[in-house]
Chain A
Amino acid sequence: MGQEMLSRRAILAGGLLAGGGLMLSLRLPTLARAADSAAAEFMPNAFVRIEPSGAITLIMPNTEVGQGIYTSAAMLIAEELEVGLDQIQVQAAPPDLSKYTDPSLGDQATGGSASIRGDWMRLRQAGAAARVMLMTAAAQRWTVDVAGCTALRGVVHHAASGRSAPYGDLATAAAALPVPTDTPLKAAADFKLIGTSAKRIDTPSKVNGTAIYGIDAKLPGMKIATLAISPVKGGKLASMDIAAAKRVPGVRDVVQVEDHAVAVIGDHMWAAKTGLDALAPVWDGGSNGKLSSKDIVAALDKASQSQGVVAKDEGNAAGAIAKAATKLDAIYELPFLSHAPMEPVNCLIHVRPDGAEVWTGTQVPVRAQNAVAKVTGLAPATIVINNLYSGGAFGRRLDIDMIEIAAGVAKQVPYPVKLVWTREEDMQHDWYRPYYYDRVSAGLDAQGKLVGWTHRVTGSSVMARWAPPGFKNGMDPDAVECAAETPYEVPATFVDYVRAEPQGMSTGWWRGVGPTHNVFVVESFIDELAAAAKQDPVAYRRTMLDRNPRALAVLNLAAEKSGWGQPLPAGQGRGITLQFAFGSYVAAVLQVEVTAEGEVLPKHAFVAIDCGQVINPDTVEAQIQGGFILGLGTALYNEITLADGRVEQSNFHDYRSLRMNEAPLVEVFQIRNQEKPGGVGETGTAAAAPALGNAIFAATGRRLRRLPFGTGQLQAS
């Protein structure tokens, strides 16, 4: 692999020529050779390409944002193709809905922890079909029965005659064969790669500075731009000092985009940045200019008092609660969140009269292509999207505003422009995770058993904006995911959803989507019920899991590994949480200390996961560890608030991340089986807040129902 990655890097470093593009650059040598020798490359499907030279390229339908999908997707193909990960190179798929639409998302998109679930069949089938064709080509060449042939590490062998041929030698012949449609796949017992902790193929370039992220792309003659967008949504540019900006050495152009944004273009980011300072744009806030978070929350509270669209109505929950021995009501609130991936959003784009070419990291390449088409008036087919590594995304790159606005700048200048947002602009013009305002109530019988449960979710519908066909009859399935269906058996449940769009804020997908919201509400409230019933939180959950053995198994595993029930020093507590989300079962126990001053110190986390058939166990562990830590930092510190219509937070000093000195050890315990693979990338994040809130309760007896926890709530009273 190292060598192939090196050649790709060499192309990226030396090439990236105007009009070429990553895919074309990579393919040019092939085409040249093909013309010389009349040899054909073998591309039996959208995911595998084998050249007569022997080069094997696997095309990645999903974007590598750090989750390890390039490695896991390559493992699925390589397993059936019978090649090693050291024998392949990978390439990002170009925008093409006919080939790369994710089966579960209905779009060429990377999100919702859907990649492995979408790839599990199609990528193995792609590898298997290619292998069968190569073996058939060999058998025909040798006039032997294909049943007597085997394939191993990119070579077809015929044991009886002792003959063998590498895939490259068979490529041209295989390309002339029909593509089989029903190739049998390996049984799990025969997997060589799937289920192993294969080394990630992107790591070598990411430890020596050679990996190319969107922000690193360069072109000859390229200029660098940075921008200011109206700090109030719907506001307009009132005035600016263009002459002052142009006096800054290195500033080339000042370009306005519609009436709400302005970019300064320079020879380098420093010129663009200091030029923007000198430009000193003044904004007219418009109708949102006096808006504050308090207004938005008050509107949500009001909306939450009317009934919503019913997501689940089983038994008579209201009646059961009315007759219950004990009744509980609570309101849970989750704040707006920014994504803040380490790599600020950016886009390199060259708009020419006859087409455009884009270099960026995006979770939605087709949307990116369409966005450029819309802004420039160019036909989508003339727009090349080179999808590079993303320095994190967490959902930020499921939107295309950074590409749209870059196209708006680039179409006004003749040269390629790399538009790099400052951290401040990114944080203050994000598509924020919605503020959710959830009302829950429950009734317990005299023995503490849960007899009725209601949950009303109130908040923005991301689905209605981002994927309108998924929003039907007022119901956003994401907004109620893990609320309408929980792991527990409850005699009577009523769940409804009130769509309430916040004024002055744009909302979008954020890591963990529905589950990160609802698992927090459900698991915190279940903990409240256990306390009201005077029962141990783990034991209480067990009583409702008789018909859910996989959920029970992860619950028991996490509890056992954490030493659940064993004494802890004063001021410490353990919190448990359980979820079935993204097709995976996860339970987590977090041990925390709460100091006398109200400071929350996460000490140690124990996470059990059953995600069915595991592709790469080391990646599963990494995703859980990292996702949990992101979730913890978010639950402790993060909220986006508005004052005078403007986002108050701007950078990592007031939108904190968990740091090395605060991060607990996160131990991951995997239950291995051959059930259908589940998603893992967001499960750890969804587990963090409820585990933390429940641990704080265990340590202090205080139930916190409003995120984030660590900004003064425990110090407050």
Chain B
Amino acid sequence: MFSLLINGQTHEVDVPADMPVLWILRDVLGMTGTKFGCGIAQCGACTVHLGGEAVRSCLLAVGTVGTQPIVTIEAVGDNAVGHKVQQAWLDKEVVQCGYCQSGQIMAATALLTQTPKPTDADIDAAMSGNICRCGTYVRIREAIHAVAASA
């Protein structure tokens, strides 16, 4: 039995210690905003915040989480930076199929929280772990710069 603090709420889950948080979110708790893309931390679709850091939940074993808070796409808008990121995504019409965008938004929010005025190089470094097969990178970059400009 593990006790997880997710989006400010405590959840008790009876699962194996090596079970990745991704599947706990999706299949045990029914929080499907966090996506499965590759299962090997190559695509970033499953990105969540663990103690404020962007991490890949597909390889995050529940047994290693401890008391660190988890934030997912469902609640990132409660955070001032996360809300601005979502708004910028709407304003710039970033989304196409949208499947990777939960992860993109989580990664961008972590970046802008730590580095409110990122350079293009900062964006490359923080965002290149998140694949978008629709190819929305041009607009993701614009949206991140737009959030930075409004800060």
| Chain A 339-351 interface 0/1 with B at a Cβ cutoff of 8 Å (1 = within) | 0111110000000
B1 part of interface (Cβ distance < 8 Å) = no
- The reply to whether B98 and A625 form a contact with Cβ atoms under 8 Å apart is no
Residue of A nearest to B38 (CB): A423
How far is it, in angstroms, between the C-alpha of A203 and the C-alpha of B93 when the chains are bound? 7
A218 part of interface (Cβ distance < 8 Å) = yes
| Chain A 363-400 interface 0/1 with B at a Cβ cutoff of 8 Å (1 = within) | 00000000000000000000000000111111000000
Residue of B nearest to A664 (CB): B138
Chain B nearest CB from A110 CB (Å) reads 13
Q: Which residue from B33, B36, B42, B124 sits with its C-beta under 8 Å from A269? A: B36
Q: Which residue from B16, B19, B35 sits with its C-beta under 8 Å from A391? A: B35
With A203-B90, A343-B97, A389-B98 as known contacts, state yes or no: A66 contacts B134, CB within 8 Å.
Answer: yes
Residue of B nearest to A210 (CB): B33
A561 part of interface (Cβ distance < 8 Å) = no
A311 part of interface (Cβ distance < 8 Å) = no
With A268-B28, A269-B27, A622-B93 as known contacts, state yes or no: A202 contacts B98, CB within 8 Å.
Answer: yes
- The reply to whether B23 and A652 form a contact with Cβ atoms under 8 Å apart is no
Contacts of B128 in A (CB 8 A): 659-662
Chain A nearest CB from B43 CB (Å) reads 5
Chain A nearest CB from B100 CB (Å) reads 5
Q: Which residue from A213, A422, A651, A658 sits with its C-beta under 8 Å from B42? A: A651
Chain A nearest CB from B96 CB (Å) reads 4
| Chain B 56-87 interface 0/1 with A at a Cβ cutoff of 8 Å (1 = within) | 00000000000000001110010000000010
Q: Pick the most buried of B36, B90, B139, B140: most chain A CB atoms within 10 A of its CB.
A: B36
A281 part of interface (Cβ distance < 8 Å) = no
Q: Pick the most buried of B99, B123, B132: most chain A CB atoms within 10 A of its CB.
A: B99
With A270-B19, A341-B133, A660-B141 as known contacts, state yes or no: A209 contacts B93, CB within 8 Å.
Answer: no
Residue of B nearest to A616 (CB): B93
Q: Pick the most buried of A269, A340, A627, A651: most chain B CB atoms within 10 A of its CB.
A: A269
* 646-668 of chain A: CB within 8 A of chain B: 651-653, 657-663, 665-666
- The reply to whether B26 and A342 form a contact with Cβ atoms under 8 Å apart is no
Contacts of B139 in A (CB 8 A): 622, 625
- The reply to whether B37 and A344 form a contact with Cβ atoms under 8 Å apart is yes
- The reply to whether A207 and B134 form a contact with Cβ atoms under 8 Å apart is no
Q: Which residue from A209, A211, A274, A342 sits with its C-beta under 8 Å from B43? A: A342
- The reply to whether B124 and A199 form a contact with Cβ atoms under 8 Å apart is no
- The reply to whether B98 and A270 form a contact with Cβ atoms under 8 Å apart is no
How far is it, in angstroms, between the C-alpha of A431 and the C-alpha of B37 when the chains are bound? 19
How far is it, in angstroms, between the C-alpha of A218 and the C-alpha of B32 when the chains are bound? 10
- The reply to whether A209 and B74 form a contact with Cβ atoms under 8 Å apart is yes
With A270-B19, A622-B139, A626-B135 as known contacts, state yes or no: A660 contacts B42, CB within 8 Å.
Answer: no
Contacts of A653 in B (CB 8 A): 40, 42
Chain A nearest CB from B62 CB (Å) reads 10
Summarize B's interface: helix, strand, loop or mixed: loop
A572 part of interface (Cβ distance < 8 Å) = no
Q: Pick the most buried of A207, A215, A267, A659: most chain B CB atoms within 10 A of its CB.
A: A207
* 1-54 of chain B: CB within 8 A of chain A: 15-16, 19-20, 23-24, 26-28, 30-40, 42-43, 45
A434 part of interface (Cβ distance < 8 Å) = no
With A618-B93, A660-B137, A663-B138 as known contacts, state yes or no: A342 contacts B99, CB within 8 Å.
Answer: yes
Size bin of chain B's contact surface: 35 or more
A249 part of interface (Cβ distance < 8 Å) = yes
Chain A nearest CB from B27 CB (Å) reads 4
- The reply to whether B42 and A652 form a contact with Cβ atoms under 8 Å apart is yes
Chain A nearest CB from B2 CB (Å) reads 13
Residue of A nearest to B62 (CB): A270
B147 part of interface (Cβ distance < 8 Å) = no
Contacts of A577 in B (CB 8 A): none
* 180-235 of chain A: CB within 8 A of chain B: 197, 199-200, 202-204, 206-213, 215-216, 218, 224
Q: Pick the most buried of B37, B39, B98, B123: most chain A CB atoms within 10 A of its CB.
A: B98
- The reply to whether B130 and A660 form a contact with Cβ atoms under 8 Å apart is yes
A108 part of interface (Cβ distance < 8 Å) = no
A669 part of interface (Cβ distance < 8 Å) = no
With A630-B134, A666-B138 as known contacts, state yes or no: A660 contacts B124, CB within 8 Å.
Answer: yes
- The reply to whether A215 and B36 form a contact with Cβ atoms under 8 Å apart is yes
B95 part of interface (Cβ distance < 8 Å) = yes
How far is it, in angstroms, between the C-alpha of A216 and the C-alpha of B133 when the chains are bound? 19
Residue of B nearest to A343 (CB): B99
Chain A nearest CB from B18 CB (Å) reads 8
Contacts of A628 in B (CB 8 A): 135
How far is it, in angstroms, between the C-alpha of A596 and the C-alpha of B95 when the chains are bound? 36
A579 part of interface (Cβ distance < 8 Å) = no
Chain B nearest CB from A72 CB (Å) reads 13
- The reply to whether B33 and A342 form a contact with Cβ atoms under 8 Å apart is no
Q: Which residue from A391, A657, A661 sits with its C-beta under 8 Å from B124? A: A661
Contacts of A274 in B (CB 8 A): 16
With A270-B15, A270-B19, A423-B38 as known contacts, state yes or no: A342 contacts B124, CB within 8 Å.
Answer: no
Contacts of A66 in B (CB 8 A): 96-99, 134
Q: Which residue from B33, B39, B95, B130 sits with its C-beta under 8 Å from A423? A: B39
Residue of B nearest to A67 (CB): B96
| Chain B 80-115 interface 0/1 with A at a Cβ cutoff of 8 Å (1 = within) | 000000100110011111111110010000000000
- The reply to whether A342 and B45 form a contact with Cβ atoms under 8 Å apart is yes
13 pairs from A and B in contact (CB 8 Å cutoff): A65-B97, A203-B94, A209-B72, A270-B20, A342-B133, A344-B37, A392-B97, A618-B93, A630-B134, A630-B135, A651-B38, A659-B129, A661-B124
Other A-B pairs, 4, CB within 8 Å; known A200-B93, A209-B73: A199-B93, A209-B31, A343-B37, A389-B97
Hey, which bits of chain A sit against chain B, CB under 8 A?
A: 65-68, 197, 199-200, 202-204, 206-213, 215-216, 218, 224, 249-250, 267-270, 274, 340-344, 389-394, 420, 422-423, 618, 622-623, 625-630, 633, 651-653, 657-663, 665-666
The 3 closest A-B pairs by CB, nearest first: A209-B33, A391-B99, A66-B97
Hey, which bits of chain B sit against chain A, CB under 8 A?
A: 15-16, 19-20, 23-24, 26-28, 30-40, 42-43, 45, 72-74, 77, 86, 89-90, 93-102, 105, 123-125, 127-141
